[in-house]
Structure 1
Amino acid sequence: MPWRDPVPLTRAWCLWEIFCGISNEGTEVTIQLPKSEEQALEDAIRDSYKAVTDTLVRVQAERADAFNPHDKHMIFTAIESWAGGFGAVNQAVKDQLRAWCLQKAVGAVEAMRARGEDSTGAFAGLCNHVGGERGADTFGNLGIAYASKGEYDKAIAYYEKALAVFVETLGEKHPSTANTYNNLGLAYDSKGEHARGIHYYEKALAIRVETLGEKHPSTATSYNNLGSAYHSKGDYDRAIAFYEKALAIRVEMLGEKHPSTADSYLGLGNAYYSKGEYDKAIAFYEKALAITVETLGEKHPSTASTYNNLGSAYYSKGEYDKAIAFYEKALAITVETLGEKHPSTASTYNNLGSAYYSKGEYDKAIAFYEKALAITVETLGEKHPSTADTYGNLGIAYHSKGDYDRAIHFHEKDLAITVEALGEKHPSVATSYFNIGLLYDKRGDKEQACAYIQHALDVFATTLGPDHPHTLKAERNLRRIRGGAVTRQHTSTQHVSESRLQQQQCLLIATFFFVAHADVDARRPANTGSDGEDKKTGTGRDAPRGCSVPARAMYEDACECPGEPLAGWLRKRGRRRAAFRPCWCKLDDDRLTYSKGPSLAERGRIPLSSVLSAELAHGGEELHVAVPGRTFVFRLHARSDTSLADWCTATNSRINATT
C-alpha cells in the first residue's frame, strides 16, 4: 500500500483481515510496501517520523466501506459483538501499525549506518525516534496488548524492551521506568511467578516513593499490587498489611468515596476471605459495593464484580441461595454493560454453575458451565487457562452424575490446555496431575498414580513451597499409595509411558468429594487504571476484582488410615461461642492438636482417650468433637484440603483404635 494514502485501511474487508490476524494467537500480520515506496518512506521517517505515524494510524473501522452492503453488515456485526467493539479494533490495528513503523525506522537507522551516514544530524534525530520515549511507548502498548490476551511471555519481552529504552533515555529513577517495572511485575505475577512479580513491584515502589512521594496514588497502587502478590503466595497477613497501606493513602489522597479506595477494600475482603474469615470479608465487600455504586453507578462492571465477590463469600459460608442471588445480580449487570459474549459474563456463569453444583443440582450446573465454556472459547480461545478451568468444572459435574466417559473427555481437555498455556511448573498443572493420579489410584493402577502424584508433589513444592497445604496433601497421598517414604525432588516421569502422558488417559471410577469453585473476575485490564498513570506505559493493577477462589480444586483424597498423621488448616470456634479463627490441626494416633501454623508451638491438645464423640453437625458444615465439659467446634478454612467428613472419619477411626 502507498504509505501516504493507505487506501486498504478504509476498506472493510482489509480491516477485517488485519483484525482477524492480530486477534488470533500464532497468526502473524505482514505489512508490505511496493518497492517504489520503500525509499520514500525512509526519507519521510527521517524527515518527520510523527507525520508518518499520524498518517498511518488514522484508522476508523466504523467508517470503512465495502462494495457489498451485506458484507459490510456482516463485518460490522462481528466487530460490535467482539469485546471492546470498534474502539478495540481501531486500537489493535493502530498498535500493529505503530510497531511496524518502528521496525521500519530501525531498518532506516541500519541502512544509514551501512551507508556511512551515522555522523549526520538526520541520523541522530532518527535514532532519537527509534530509541526514545515514543518507541518505548509502542513497546509498552504491545506488552499491554499481549498481556490482555494472556500471552505473558510476549508481554514480558516487550516490557523489557520498553524498560531498556526508558532507563537509557529517562534514567532509572523516573515514573515511566517505575510503570514498566510495575507491568513486568504484573506479567510475572499473572504467570504464577509471584516471587519475580514481587521483585519488580518492589522496584516500582522504591522509585515511586522517591520520585512521587509516599502519599501518592501511584505509590498506593504499588502497595496494592504487593498485597495482591503476597495474597497469591498465601501470605495473607502480609497481604493485609500492604492493602491497609494502600487504603490509608487512597483515603487521604483520593477520599473515601473513590473507585480506587473501593479497590483497596476489595483487596482486604479478598485476604480475609482467603483466611476463612468470611464475615469480615463480607463487611469489606459491602464497603466496596457502597462506594462503587455511588461513584460508578449500579450498572457498571465494577459493581457487578463486587456482587460476584459477595456471592463467593456467601458461597463459601455454605449459603448457596444467597450466593446465587448475588451472582444473578452480577450477571444482569455484566450482560447489560459488557455483553453476553464477554469473559466476565462467562465467569459469572461459572460461579452460578458452582453454586448449583454445590446444591446438588448437577444438570443446572452443567447448563451454566456450558454457557461459560461457549463464551470463553469464543472470546479467549480454546487454549486459554479459563477455558481449561471450565472444562475441568464440566468434568467434575459429569463425574458427580456418574457419566464417566464425558468426565474423562473434559478432564483430558483441561490438562492438555493447562500444560500448554501455563507450562509444567504451575500450581494449576500440578493440581491436574494430582487429580489424575488419584483417579489412577482408585482404578488400582498404583504405578501410574505414584508417577502423576510425584510429579504434582515436585511442582507444588517448587511453586508453592514445602509447607503449603497442597504440597502436604500430595506428599501424604503419595506416602499412602506407596506405603512408605517419599522425597520432594524432581523425579523423572519415566514411570508414566509417553503415550499415556501425552494423551492424559484416565478413568473416573471412584466417587470423590469435591467442590467446584468458580473462576471469578480476577482483575481489571492493565490499561484501564484509576490512578492517573500514563495509559501508554500501562497502569498498576489494583486489588483483584473477585475473590481468590481457585478456579480448579483438588479432588478430596481418601481418608488416611489409622497411624498416618492427618494435618491441615481448619477454623476453630473460641470459648463462649467466640468467633471462628484459623488454626493448623494435626491428628495423631492419640491426640488432636491445634496451633497457629504448621511449624509453630501447640496452642491446645485434645487427647483422643477423652473424646466422647466426633460427629458432623449443621448439614456437614461443622465438626463437633465432644469431651467432658466442652465441645470443640471446627469448620473448613479457605486453605482446607481435606473435607470435614474425612476429618470426622479419621478421628473416629483413631478413637476406635485406642479403645
Structure 2
Amino acid sequence: MAAINASGVSAAAIRQFMADLQQEFPGKYMAMTTQDACTALVVPRTKEKQRAYIDLMQEKNGDDVAPATVFVSHAWRYKIVDVLSTLLEFAEEEEQAQHGGKETFFWFDLFVNNQHANVTANLPQEWWSTTFKESIRQIGKVLLVLTPWNDPVPLTRAWCLWEIFCSISQGDDVELAIRLPSQQHVALRDAVLDDLAAVTDMLVHVQAEKAEAWKPEDKDMIFAAIEASVGFTALNKAVKDQMRSWCLTTAEAFVTAMEQQLQQQQQQQQQQDEGGGEGGGEGGGGSAVDMMEYAKLCSQVGSVLSAFGAHTRAIELYHKDLDVTLDRLGEEHEQTALKYNNLGLAHTARGDYATAIQYYQRALRIKTATLGANHESTGGTHSNLGNVYDKVGDYERALQQHEAALAILMATVGEKDEETAGAHGNLGSTHFAMGDMDAAILHYKTALRIFLDTCGRHHPQVARAYGNLGGAYRAVGDFANAVDCFQRDLEIKLAVLGEEHPETGIAYNNLGNAHNNLGQREEALTCFEHALHIFSAALGDSHPHTAMVHGNLGSVYDETGNFQRAAESYGRAFAIQASVLGREHPHTAMTQERLATAYAQHGDFARGLEHMQGAVQAFTTALGPQHRSTVVAAKNLELMRNAAADAGFLVLAEGEQEAQAPTDTGAKRQRDTQHNPQHKDDDADENEGGGRGGDGDVRQQHDMMCGWLQKRGQLNTAFQPRFFRIVESSLLYFRGEDDTHPRGAIHLRAVKSVELKQGVGGDVPELHVAVPGRIFVFRLDETHAITHDLHAWHRAFSDMLR
C-alpha cells in the first residue's frame, strides 16, 4: 500500500504563500481559516492540473521542497495566518538551536495532499496503523499547533489525537513539540493579569478522551489503538507537559519584556538628565511602564509559576514585587502584608517552613496594625500560620492560630460561609493530628454541613470535606462510615475533576484503604490500581504518591497471603522513596521494614534480614536509637533472626545469610493513608500518614486489652464512663461494650507521657496521658464488671512507649 508523500515545504515557501494570500484577499486574509484558504486559493490555482499545491511550489523554486523534517498537526478551522506564523516562528527556533544548520521543511496537509481528491477516504485501518505511523517515524518530529490556549481545538478532534499518538507511541524515534500562535500570548497575558484561576485551570481542560470524529468508526479505531498502546493518560500527560512548559516560558517572558522596557526608560531618562533636556514619560514610541504595574505582573506571574510547581522562580518574582511595594508604599501597608503572605505560601509549598513562618508573622503584624485584629484578612493569615505549624508538628500553636481564625471569621462573615467552613476543616485536621478524634469529627462535620449549604453537593470543597471526615472515621475504626464518605468524595471528584486528576487518585487511594480495613480485598485492589494509574500518569513513576500506592498494594497482597507480589510492590515503593526521600528518611525506613517482612514471609530470609537491618539503621540515623520506631524494628529483626534459625536458616554474619526453607514470621504492617486538610489561602498538601505496628512489636501483648474507665471531657469537663479497647497502635473508646463505632481514639505513637497522679483534693487517683496539645484524664470505673485498675493501664501504656 502506497506511503504518504513525505515531502515538506520551506519557511520561504510559506512566507510566499502568506504574501500571495494577502495580495489576493487584502481585506479579509487575516480572518481566513485553513479551509477558506484551501477553497479560495489552493484549489483554484491547482484545478487545471488537478495536483497538490506543493507541486506548484516546486515548479517555482525547487529549493522550497525537500524531505519533510516536521509533520504539522493542526485544525482546519484555525485562522491560516495564525498557523503559518507559528510554523515560521518554529523554523526560527530550529535554526537557532542548530546554529544555522539543517533547514526545516514542513509536512503541511494543505500543501502536500491533493485537495482535488480525498486521498484518505477509503484507506483501511491497517494503513493508518502501519504505513502512516511509519511515515511519521521517518519524518521524526510532530509539531502540534494549539489554540485557543485555554481549550485547544485539536484535542477535540480524533484525527489530531491520532497524529499525537503516532508521535508519543514511538518513543525517542519521534519528538512531539507543541506551540501556540503568537496572538495567544496576548490572551494569556490578559488572563495572567485579570483571571489567574483560568490560567491555573488550563490543564484540567486537557481531556483527549472527549474528542470526536465525523465518522464514528474513525473514532472507534483511533480510541481503540490509543487505549491498546500508550493510553489516554499518557497522551494527556504529553500534551499537558508541553502546555505547562509553554505557559511558564511565555509568562516569564512577559516579565522579561517589561524589565527591558524599564531598562530602556531608565537609559533614556539618564540621557535626558545628562543632556539637560526635559524628562519624558515615554520612550521609543511606547507607553511608560509604571513600577506598580510591573510589581503586579511579577506577583501574578509568580502565582502562575507557584501553581505549576516552579516555586523557586516564583519566590524570585515575589521578592521583586515586594521590593517595589516597599519602595513605593513602605513596610506598614496592607499591600506589603499581602506580599509577605505570597512569600509565605511559596516557601510553604517548597517545604521551607521556618522561612514561611517568618513571612506570615510579618504579614500578621502588619495586618493587625493596619486592618485590625478582627479583620477577615487577618484571620486568613492566622489560618496560614496554623497550617505551617501543622506541617512542622507544633500542634499547640497550630490550634491557637486556627481558633483565632475561626473566631474572626464567625464575627466577620458569619457561620454560613465557605471561609468559616475552611477554618472548621483546619481545626479538624489539627485535632486529627493530635489524636482527638471526637473534636476532629465534630469540626469536619460542621465544615461539611456549611460547604453543602454554600457550595452545593457537587463542589470540590464538599468532596474534600467528605474525604477528611472519612479519614477521621477510619482512624477510630468506623470503616463502614469511612467507605461511605470516601465514596462520596470520589464520586464528586470524578464528576468535577475527571478520572485523570491527582485528587481523584487520592480519593481512590483512601477508598481502597477503607475497603482493605473491612477485609474487602478485591474492592481495595481495584481502587489502588486506579490510583496507581492516575498518579503514574499525572505525577510520574517516581512521585511519593506513586510509591505510597505501591505500598498499599503490597499491603493487600500481604493480607491475602500473596507474599511474592507483596514484596514486588513494597520493592517498587522502597526504590522510589529511596531515590526521592533518601534511604534514611522515616517513610523509606518504614517501607523497607515492610519489604523485609514480605521477603521473610515468602521464605527469602537473605533479603528479608538484609532489608530489616537496613530499616533498623535508617530509623536509628533518622530518629535515634531510643525512638519507638527504631526499637520496634530492632525487635522485629530479632524475631526474624529467630524465625530464620527455627526454619534452618544459617545466619553467617551481619548482612550475609543462606536460605534453607520458607516460614511465616507472622509480622503485619499498617498502610499509608492520605489526609486532606482544608486550607485557607494555601494549597492543600496530601501527606502520607498512618502508622506502623507488628506482631513482633513489644505492644503485641497488650493488643485487645479492654475495660471501663471514667474519661474527662475536653469541653464538658465532667467524667463520663467509656469502654476502652487497645487495638494495635490505638486506644479506642466506645459508649458501650457492644458498640462497633468508636467515639474516638488516642494514637499511642503520639503519646508523650503517662503518669499516675492524684486528682483535685488529692483523694482520687487519676491516669494522665499527654499527647501534643492535650492531656487525657482517666479515673477508675468500678460500676462495671470488665475493668482493670489504673496501674494495669499505666503498665500497658508504659510498655507500649518503650
TM over 0.5: yes
Compared with structure 1, are the counterparts of its residues 82 and 366 closer, same or farther at alpha carbon in structure 2 (3 Å cutoff)? Answer: farther
Among 454, 468, 476, the alignment partner of 2:617 is 454
Instruction: Single out whichever of 326-335 and 397-406 deviates more from structure 2.
Output: 397-406
Find the counterpart in structure 2 of residue 598 from structure 1. Answer: 752
Structure 2 residue matching 1:394: 3-state secondary structure: helix
Work out whether residues 118 and 124 of structure 1, in 8 Å CA contact, stay in contact via their aligned partners in 2.
no
Q: Distance in 2 between matches of 1:216 and 1:31?
A: 55
Find the counterpart in structure 2 of residue 97 from structure 1. Answer: 250
Q: Distance in 2 between matches of 1:411 and 1:129?
A: 60
Find the counterpart in structure 2 of residue 610 from structure 1. Answer: none
Alpha-carbon shift at residue 364 of structure 1 (Å): 1.8
Deviation sequence 1:126-165 (CA, Å, 0-9, x none): 9998894444444444443444345544544544454444
Work out whether residues 439 and 509 of structure 1, in 8 Å CA contact, stay in contact via their aligned partners in 2.
no
Work out whether residues 470 and 484 of structure 2, in 8 Å CA contact, stay in contact via their aligned partners in 1.
yes
Q: Does 1:84 align with 2:220?
A: no
Q: Does 1:269 align with 2:428?
A: yes
Structure 1 residue matching 2:410: 3-state secondary structure: helix
Alpha-carbon shift at residue 174 of structure 1 (Å): 3.7
Work out whether residues 536 and 546 of structure 2, in 8 Å CA contact, stay in contact via their aligned partners in 1.
yes
User: Superposition pairs for residues 598-617 of structure 1, below 5 Å?
Assistant: 598=752, 602-603=756-757
Among 721, 726, 729, the alignment partner of 1:578 is 721
Alpha-carbon shift at residue 242 of structure 1 (Å): 1.4
Q: Distance in 2 between matches of 1:131 and 1:392?
A: 54
Q: Distance in 1 between matches of 2:789 and 2:447?
A: 31
Compared with structure 1, are the counterparts of its residues 222 and 387 closer, same or farther at alpha carbon in structure 2 (3 Å cutoff)? Answer: same
Structure 2 residue matching 1:84: 3-state secondary structure: helix
Query: Structure 1, unaligned stretches of length 5 or more?
Result: 16-28, 37-57, 484-494, 501-506, 530-539, 587-593, 606-624, 635-643, 655-659
Among 38, 54, 60, the alignment partner of 2:148 is 60
Find the counterpart in structure 1 of residue 393 from structure 2. Answer: 234
Question: RMSD over aligned Cα, in angstroms?
Answer: 5.6
Find the counterpart in structure 1 of residue 531 from structure 2. Answer: 372
Compared with structure 1, are the counterparts of its residues 415 and 30 closer, same or farther at alpha carbon in structure 2 (3 Å cutoff)? Answer: farther
Q: Does 1:390 align with 2:549?
A: yes
The structure number with the bigger radius of gyration is 2
Compared with structure 1, are the counterparts of its residues 128 and 92 closer, same or farther at alpha carbon in structure 2 (3 Å cutoff)? Answer: farther
Compared with structure 1, are the counterparts of its residues 326 and 436 closer, same or farther at alpha carbon in structure 2 (3 Å cutoff)? Answer: same
Q: Which has the higher contact order (CA 8 A, sep 6+)?
A: 1
Compared with structure 1, are the counterparts of its residues 103 and 207 closer, same or farther at alpha carbon in structure 2 (3 Å cutoff)? Answer: same
Deviation sequence 1:211-241 (CA, Å, 0-9, x none): 3221222211111122222223333333222
Alpha-carbon shift at residue 323 of structure 1 (Å): 1.2
Compared with structure 1, are the counterparts of its residues 510 and 482 closer, same or farther at alpha carbon in structure 2 (3 Å cutoff)? Answer: closer
Find the counterpart in structure 2 of residue 558 from structure 1. Answer: 696
Residue type of the partner of 2:566?
Answer: A
Work out whether residues 559 and 650 of structure 1, in 8 Å CA contact, stay in contact via their aligned partners in 2.
no
Give the share of equivalent positions with the same residue, in percent: 25
Compared with structure 1, are the counterparts of its residues 240 and 555 closer, same or farther at alpha carbon in structure 2 (3 Å cutoff)? Answer: same
Residue type of the partner of 1:558?
Answer: G
Instruction: Single out whichever of 119-128 and 341-350 deviates more from structure 2.
Output: 119-128
Work out whether residues 595 and 602 of structure 1, in 8 Å CA contact, stay in contact via their aligned partners in 2.
no
Instruction: Single out whichever of 552-561 and 62-71 deviates more from structure 2.
Output: 62-71
Q: Distance in 2 between matches of 1:197 and 1:632?
A: 48
Q: Distance in 2 between matches of 1:137 and 1:559?
A: 57
Alpha-carbon shift at residue 632 of structure 1 (Å): 4.2
Alpha-carbon shift at residue 247 of structure 1 (Å): 0.5
Work out whether residues 438 and 557 of structure 1, in 8 Å CA contact, stay in contact via their aligned partners in 2.
no
Structure 2 residue matching 1:578: 3-state secondary structure: strand
Deviation sequence 1:229-282 (CA, Å, 0-9, x none): 222333333322211100010111111110000011111222222233323222
User: Superposition pairs for residues 109-128 of structure 1, below 5 Å?
Assistant: none
Compared with structure 1, are the counterparts of its residues 419 and 155 closer, same or farther at alpha carbon in structure 2 (3 Å cutoff)? Answer: farther
Q: Distance in 2 between matches of 1:378 and 1:67?
A: 18
Alpha-carbon shift at residue 62 of structure 1 (Å): 6.2
Q: TM-score, normalised by structure 1?
A: 0.64
Residue type of the partner of 2:514?
Answer: A
Deviation sequence 1:60-119 (CA, Å, 0-9, x none): 336866699654577999999985217999998555423113224445666888999666
Work out whether residues 399 and 508 of structure 1, in 8 Å CA contact, stay in contact via their aligned partners in 2.
no
Compared with structure 1, are the counterparts of its residues 459 and 367 closer, same or farther at alpha carbon in structure 2 (3 Å cutoff)? Answer: same
Among 628, 633, 657, the alignment partner of 1:472 is 628
Among 351, 366, 369, the alignment partner of 1:207 is 366
Instruction: Single out whichever of 176-185 and 68-77 deviates more from structure 2.
Output: 68-77
Compared with structure 1, are the counterparts of its residues 108 and 166 closer, same or farther at alpha carbon in structure 2 (3 Å cutoff)? Answer: same
Q: Distance in 2 between matches of 1:580 and 1:184?
A: 48
Among 302, 305, 311, the alignment partner of 2:464 is 305
Compared with structure 1, are the counterparts of its residues 450 and 60 closer, same or farther at alpha carbon in structure 2 (3 Å cutoff)? Answer: same
Work out whether residues 299 and 318 of structure 2, in 8 Å CA contact, stay in contact via their aligned partners in 1.
yes
Alpha-carbon shift at residue 574 of structure 1 (Å): 2.6
Find the counterpart in structure 1 of residue 716 from structure 2. Answer: none
Q: Does 1:358 align with 2:517?
A: yes
Structure 2 residue matching 1:514: 3-state secondary structure: coil
Q: Distance in 2 between matches of 1:397 and 1:480?
A: 21
Find the counterpart in structure 2 of residue 518 from structure 1. Answer: 673
Find the counterpart in structure 2 of residue 48 from structure 1. Answer: none
Work out whether residues 285 and 309 of structure 1, in 8 Å CA contact, stay in contact via their aligned partners in 2.
yes
Deviation sequence 1:353-405 (CA, Å, 0-9, x none): 00111122222211100101112222333333322222221222223333333
Deviation sequence 1:435-464 (CA, Å, 0-9, x none): 557778984666754444333343346xxx
Residue type of the partner of 1:574?
Answer: Q
Q: Distance in 2 between matches of 1:118 and 1:228?
A: 51
Find the counterpart in structure 1 of residue 475 from structure 2. Answer: 316
Work out whether residues 558 and 598 of structure 2, in 8 Å CA contact, stay in contact via their aligned partners in 1.
no
Work out whether residues 592 and 612 of structure 2, in 8 Å CA contact, stay in contact via their aligned partners in 1.
no
Find the counterpart in structure 2 of residue 609 from structure 1. Answer: none
Q: Distance in 2 between matches of 1:275 and 1:317?
A: 13
Compared with structure 1, are the counterparts of its residues 447 and 354 closer, same or farther at alpha carbon in structure 2 (3 Å cutoff)? Answer: closer
Structure 2 residue matching 1:574: 3-state secondary structure: strand
Alpha-carbon shift at residue 303 of structure 1 (Å): 0.9
